[in-house]
Structure 1
Amino acid sequence: MPAFFLAMLVLGLPLNLLSLWLFFHRLRRWTRSTVFLFNLTLADTSWLLALPFLINYHLEHLHWTLGWPLCTGVRMLYHNYFYLSIFFFTCISLDRYLAIVHPLRSLLLLGRRQTYLLCVAVWVVALVLSIPVASMTLIQTCPGSNRTVCTLYILLSETGESLPYSLVCSVIGFLLPLLSICYCGLRSVSGLRRRPDPHNKQRRLRRALSAALVLFALFYLPYHLSRNATIVMRTLYPDSPASWLHADMVFSMEMCFCSLITCVNPLLSCVMGRQFREEFHATFAVICPRCTGTSKRARVTARQRMSTVTPVTNFGFVREIT
């Protein structure tokens, strides 16, 4: 786990910091998708900045020396991040649905004020959903090794609180958003199929929407299944820790696998936002021309473009379909 988390930190933090820089300094116009993608990137960055504490904890052989408040904060942030990511992904799907299926009413249904309020509501709901983690996070001393452990509520032997809480979070924080994303995605793809597509733009967007739905299910469905299975095994076999071993191992692997989403989300921003994709490619071509195979002339053009673009400060909204 520490090696995997370190790899995510080294790979994901530069990508997300670059994304934040592009949001603040390169994008000339902010759409609804831009606002949602910015909040998603902000959530990714906050989680990546907390990873060094967990890396140190695992490298110290599960010996926590930073006190209960920081232990609680890291555990809440870990739990909070996944649902922030899920909720903002749902918002992006809703925005695509409104722009494709209801283009004329989309600005009235989800205008600038409603978009900002929705982002604030997502942060508040995700925080409230993570508050019970604080009461289930404990600092315990192992009698055999004298190690101080920062407990994870999922791995507690007492499941009277953890099992109902995990099931409620799975329904509110995953199942309902999954149904919403499926509905918005299928309606959007169906709407795009009925449009003329002489340049294959709609086909590319349909593929992007379908791939986003598959990735969402691939990342979060196994995580919630393994998390609930881990707690259920402790409920069914409270006096047999050996019975928990396989479920714990699968859940630990899913914790690592879900961390990959912090590296995938910047790519999602490139797919869903045309402005972001263009600025990202231009910036990356200047930073690492050999990686992109960019010619010298194209690099000069990218530098000229970066030097002439001035970010807009009023964040006016425009509709963006591709």
Structure 2
Amino acid sequence: MTERTRRFQLLLLVSVCYAQTCMATHDETARGFVGAESDEGMKVGSQARDILKSGITTIFLPVIYIIVFVVGLPTNALAIWVFVFRTQKKHPSSIYMANLALADLLFVIWVPLKIAYHFNGNDWIYGEGLCKVLVAFFYGNMYCSIAFIACMSVQRYWAVVHPLSQYRRANCVAIFVSVTIWVVVWLITIPLYLYNQEVYVINLKISTCHDVTRPSQKNMAAGYFLTMGTLGFVVPTVICIMSYVLMLKALRNSMGDPAIAKKRRKAVVLIVTVLVMFVVCFTPSNIMLLVHYSLLLGDVEDNLYGFYISTLCLASLNSCIDPFVYYFISEDFREHVKNTFLCRSERTAQRMRVSFSALKYSKKTNSYKSESGNTQSTQC
């Protein structure tokens, strides 16, 4: 063997070893929470290790989830009580708000598992099945909430443009739409049960829940969440914006009606409230979701994963903000909540309303008679 041949073989061996080292390094560090896969589990890179052990995931996230649970559980339970047992005359808006409260409550009851997981150093000890259920309820709640908010926006626009529409028919439509949303959302969460959500991290000796994606399953995960982010967020957002624009246009064209000013104020309050909710809860999380899974699908290193999971946590705040939205945009809801806290039955509250209306009518009649008498005296 000549010296030139020996040098060539040595150079080829060094090149192959360098390429394998680079590929292994890329597999361990790319995309933050995706690492090298084996039969035992996953090995993640230094960035993923830092985030899984950082105060962001072990302190900040569970504190936010504690707030969501403490505020969201009683307020959504109260909202469902009001809509189901206190509201006698059902409206389409109350039907949508009741379904929204139910979606929030179904998510909030699972939050303690999320809190325990993060406080335990992101170590999931409750099994693969519960992990999949938690993930499905998390995303199911988010997209149910967005869908029902879009329905509320369309319904408010319809009530402004067609105020004399028949409530019974509108209620039937609202019930049908609500059932359809529940069926569709829970059907499209089925893929979350078809691949591993719980993954054992070898170099950290912890089992993560939805924080690490196996490279063999990244195409399925990325394709699913890119589709959900587009259909579940972008489409309802466009519907909300179009409803608000058309509603304001209809109100502006009817400014001669004295009742329009009040409707316009309510419409503006609803628009501002929903826009704030979208800006705080839904927009950052869904934008980062689309960005993260686009990078995951393209094998690009994702240095924003810590920010991504933080925005997902903030998205859960909608579960404790929604009841306050009902309170501010619905006068009937405020009245029912007040009567509930004062332990007034619906019959008592109804009698008080009738008495107040009679007293108000009596005062108005007496005032009219007094003015008529004064007019006759002046004429004499």
Amino acid at match of 2:302: W
Match of 2:327 among 255, 270, 273: 270
Report if the CA contact (8 A) 2:226-2:294 is conserved: no
Deviations 1:31-61 (A, max 9, x none): 1111110000000001000101111111111
- For 2:237, the equivalent position in structure 1 comes to 178
Q: Which moved more, 1:226-235 or 1:55-64?
A: 226-235
* Partners of 1:81 and 1:156 in 2: CA distance: 25
Amino acid at match of 1:244: D
Would you say 1:122 and 2:181 are equivalent positions? yes
Map 1:1-322; keep pairs closer than 5 Å. 1-105=61-165, 107=167, 111-152=170-211, 155=213, 157=215, 159-193=218-252, 194-195=254-255, 196-197=257-258, 200-218=261-279, 219-237=281-299, 243-245=301-303, 247-284=304-341, 286=342, 308-309=348-349
SS at match of 1:244: coil
When normalised by structure 2's length, the TM-score is: 0.69
* Partners of 2:344 and 2:109 in 1: CA distance: 33
* Partners of 2:97 and 2:226 in 1: CA distance: 28
SS at match of 1:62: coil
Report if the CA contact (8 A) 2:226-2:293 is conserved: no
Amino acid at match of 2:82: L
SS at match of 2:243: helix
Amino acid at match of 2:287: L
When normalised by structure 1's length, the TM-score is: 0.81
Report if the CA contact (8 A) 1:185-1:213 is conserved: no
**1:90–1:145 Cα change, 3 Å:** same
Gaps of 5+ in 2: 1-60, 351-380
Amino acid at match of 1:90: A
Amino acid at match of 2:292: T
Report if the CA contact (8 A) 1:28-1:309 is conserved: no
* Partners of 1:272 and 1:87 in 2: CA distance: 18
The number of equivalent residue pairs is 286
* Partners of 2:226 and 2:183 in 1: CA distance: 20
SS at match of 2:190: helix
SS at match of 1:136: coil
Report if the CA contact (8 A) 1:182-1:213 is conserved: no
Report if the CA contact (8 A) 2:68-2:320 is conserved: yes
Report if the CA contact (8 A) 1:98-1:106 is conserved: no
**1:251–1:165 Cα change, 3 Å:** same
Deviations 1:68-111 (A, max 9, x none): 11111111111111110011111111111111112344658x53
RMSD (CA atoms): 2.3
Residue 187 of structure 1, CA deviation = 1.2
Amino acid at match of 1:18: L
Residue 198 of structure 1, CA deviation = 6.2
**1:146–1:198 Cα change, 3 Å:** closer
* Partners of 2:292 and 2:298 in 1: CA distance: 10
SS at match of 1:160: helix
* Partners of 2:298 and 2:292 in 1: CA distance: 10
Residue 212 of structure 1, CA deviation = 3.3
Deviations 1:164-186 (A, max 9, x none): 22221122111111111111111
Amino acid at match of 2:238: L
SS at match of 2:199: strand
Residue 123 of structure 1, CA deviation = 0.2
Residue 124 of structure 1, CA deviation = 0.7
- For 1:291, the equivalent position in structure 2 comes to none
* Partners of 2:243 and 2:90 in 1: CA distance: 22
Q: Percent of pairs identical after alignment? A: 23
**1:282–1:107 Cα change, 3 Å:** closer
SS at match of 2:302: helix
